[in-house]
Structure 1
Amino acid sequence: MTLALGLLAAAVVIGVAAPAYLRIAVTPRLRPGLALAGWTSSVLAVVLAVSVSGLLLALPGGSGLDGLIGMADSCANVFLARGDVVWADVTRLGGAAVLLTFTGRTIAVAIGKVRRHRRCRREHVTLLRSLGRTEGPVLWLDEVTPIAYSVGGRNGTIVATRGVERLDVCEREAVLAHEQAHLRGRHHALVLAADIVAAALPFVPLCRQAPGAVRVLVELAADAAAARRHGPGPVRSALLSVSAGQAPRTALAMSRDAVDARLLWLESGHLPAPKLPVRADYAVAAVLTTVPAILSVATVALLVTLYCLAVVG
């Protein structure tokens, strides 16, 4: 049971404290992808910790799956002879019920949101294909206002208007590079995942703040990718020229989220960091996320050990 308690403590620590220390990574001196990976891995760690701790608490005490550091069960056994252990079973099973309810709620919310997201995306793209022309991954619409956004999915689509085609060559290429970065980075899936945990676990600060943070970070990451290819100048100019138009909420529009902050990041002297594989960002973020989790489990194990020694003594 100690491992379950440690994982629950890790979920609480990360869920409450992560927004504060993740803000440190949001700086032009670091790649936006690193902060994005940090938010993603932290949210995943909270969800997994809650689910696994719930399962461990629900398992019978003699299952052995929590025997690695299961001193809490041994401490409870001290009270067996005194007939004072009923409260421990009630607390364990009650905690398991609550945690598994949170897990079930997250799964149910995820299924509902993913289905709605897919349906809206499919209907939107089908309608636009009947109105425009497709050239590779880009769906061009006959509209003079420069509008650009991307729609995720297995075969992602970039939607752009004739107004974007008429932009300066460097600006047009910067717009397309920005949207291609969204598709390559699976940014639509990351935003959807943040929306899911916010709806399922709104009482967790990390989950509640995830949608806003992730939406800004995916735009910063896409801006950085476009700036590495075409320079910050064309990306800034494109941000000021392109409109979000009537892009659906399920899409990522170039000029909809945190435009002022992104323009500051693209100013002279705020050049994007050198490009590294996306896997490198997630590897670093995963390692850093395990630090508070390991410390939480170790702290709980130490406290349980001290309590056991006090009881036995």
Structure 2
Amino acid sequence: MTAAALLTYAAAVGVAGPLVLRGPRWAHRSPGPALAVWLGLSLSFIAAVILAAAQAVPPDGRVHIGLIGLLHACGLALGTPVDAPGAREAALAVAGWIPPVAVVLWVGFWYCRALLQGRRWRRRHAAAVDLVGRYAPRHQAVVLQHDAPAAYCLPGRDPRIVITQGTLDALSPLQLAAVLAHERAHITGRHHLVLAAVEAFGRAFPGLPLARQSHTEVALLLEMLADDRAVRRHGGDAVAVALCEVAAGSAPKAAFAAGGSGALVRMRRVLTPAPAHHLALRSTILLAAGLTPALPFLVACRA
């Protein structure tokens, strides 16, 4: 019953979750809380799968120490009593941990793989732009000799902001400052770690609607967060015009481009901003998102 309840919960979150989140416009008004909800649902799904996997090996008793004792209090028996004699009981205690640990390792493998691949690509690309471009101390960016306006960043331990000569020619000083502020927001916010997490989630659970759609939605919300920071510093008009200018510019797929995900939606959002949600509502959403990963434990306790 416990495993069935957890798998039902995971299916509901994985299938119905994105249907609920994609429609409302509140996410564009509060991209930070909306991002937390997407991540919270993903963690909640993973927690449900891990706890369901913990039921794969039938228990032969109860363990009342540490996390094992907590799970047993909820009816999630992962092993046998610590004083159970015999090799069979010891084997069951060890075997009880194999399925949930396998799920953790599976998700962790894809996350580490995404991080390493992204770091390797960024290092190679940074070396290339350093070779063919020139560093502009005034803008703290590498300038490439290209006529088309484009701007993107390479986050990480040794970050780069890359702009083209066409960007310098097309934008006013205020608009250029807005673009640079947008890219710095990606770097300081370490947004590449969040994208690596949702990419790993999609690789670990291919075909799952929540995993499939979270990458697109999270990427758009991260761009909106960077837009908001640029707007606070340089105004909405400067950000909107800058987005329009660099939207057609090409940028590497793995980089954060100012004119990247959902540029048209973001321009409309910046030009016609909706009233911000009340602080109490944003705080409530953040609190609910933070508690969402704990829901599978409540489901297990009630099952």
After TM superposition, the score normalised by the length of structure 2 is 0.76
Is 1:159–2:158 an aligned residue pair? no
SS at match of 2:271: coil
SS at match of 1:216: helix
Aligned mates of 2:10, 2:153 — CA distance in 1: 34
Aligned mates of 1:239, 1:55 — CA distance in 2: 49
Aligned mates of 1:184, 1:71 — CA distance in 2: 43
Q: In the alignment, what sits opposite 1:306?
A: none
Counterparts in 2 of 1:89-100, with a 5 A limit? 100=101
Q: In the alignment, what sits opposite 2:40?
A: 41
Aligned mates of 1:165, 1:132 — CA distance in 2: 14
**Structure 1 contact 28–272 (Cα < 8 Å) conserved:** no
SS at match of 1:130: helix
SS at match of 1:62: coil
Letter in 1 for 2:153: S
**Structure 1 contact 11–49 (Cα < 8 Å) conserved:** yes
C-alpha displacement of 1:217: 0.9
Q: Deviations over 1:154-213 (max 9, x none)?
A: 232211122222311121111111111111221222122111111111243211211111
Classify 1:162/1:61 alpha carbon distance in 2 versus 1 (closer, same or farther; 3 Å).
farther
Gap runs ≥5 in structure 1: 74-89, 304-313
Q: In the alignment, what sits opposite 1:139?
A: 142
Alignment RMSD, CA only?
Answer: 3.5
Letter in 2 for 1:27: W
Classify 1:232/1:272 alpha carbon distance in 2 versus 1 (closer, same or farther; 3 Å).
farther
Aligned mates of 1:70, 1:226 — CA distance in 2: 47
Q: Deviations over 1:238-272 (max 9, x none)?
A: 1111146442211011113211211221223x157
Aligned mates of 1:72, 1:102 — CA distance in 2: 16
Q: In the alignment, what sits opposite 1:287?
A: 287
Q: Deviations over 1:77-133 (max 9, x none)?
A: xxxxxxxxxxxxx9xx79x76655443332232233222211111000011011222
Classify 1:26/1:34 alpha carbon distance in 2 versus 1 (closer, same or farther; 3 Å).
farther
Q: Percent identity?
A: 32
Aligned mates of 1:29, 1:210 — CA distance in 2: 15
Aligned mates of 1:223, 1:217 — CA distance in 2: 10
C-alpha displacement of 1:45: 3.0
More displaced stretch, 18-27 vs 154-163: 18-27
Q: In the alignment, what sits opposite 1:217?
A: 221
**Which of 238, 244, 257 lines up with 2:242 in the alignment?**
238
More displaced stretch, 283-292 vs 228-237: 283-292
Classify 1:29/1:256 alpha carbon distance in 2 versus 1 (closer, same or farther; 3 Å).
closer
SS at match of 2:241: helix
**Which of 134, 150, 153 lines up with 2:153 in the alignment?**
150
Classify 1:190/1:60 alpha carbon distance in 2 versus 1 (closer, same or farther; 3 Å).
farther
Counterparts in 2 of 1:239-254, with a 5 A limit? 239-243=243-247, 245-254=249-258
Letter in 2 for 1:15: G
Classify 1:221/1:26 alpha carbon distance in 2 versus 1 (closer, same or farther; 3 Å).
farther
Is 1:193–2:197 an aligned residue pair? yes
Counterparts in 2 of 1:237-276, with a 5 A limit? 237-243=241-247, 245-268=249-272, 270=273, 273=276
Is 1:170–2:137 an aligned residue pair? no
After TM superposition, the score normalised by the length of structure 1 is 0.74
**Structure 2 contact 40–292 (Cα < 8 Å) conserved:** no
Aligned mates of 1:165, 1:72 — CA distance in 2: 61
Q: Deviations over 1:13-69 (max 9, x none)?
A: 433333233336643773212211221232233224433553576576422345443
Classify 1:72/1:255 alpha carbon distance in 2 versus 1 (closer, same or farther; 3 Å).
closer
Aligned mates of 1:33, 1:286 — CA distance in 2: 8
Q: In the alignment, what sits opposite 1:104?
A: 105
Classify 1:71/1:55 alpha carbon distance in 2 versus 1 (closer, same or farther; 3 Å).
closer
Letter in 2 for 1:159: V
More displaced stretch, 21-30 vs 208-217: 21-30
Letter in 1 for 2:152: Y
Classify 1:162/1:41 alpha carbon distance in 2 versus 1 (closer, same or farther; 3 Å).
same
SS at match of 2:142: strand
**Which of 179, 186, 195 lines up with 1:182 in the alignment?**
186
Classify 1:215/1:99 alpha carbon distance in 2 versus 1 (closer, same or farther; 3 Å).
same
Classify 1:28/1:9 alpha carbon distance in 2 versus 1 (closer, same or farther; 3 Å).
closer
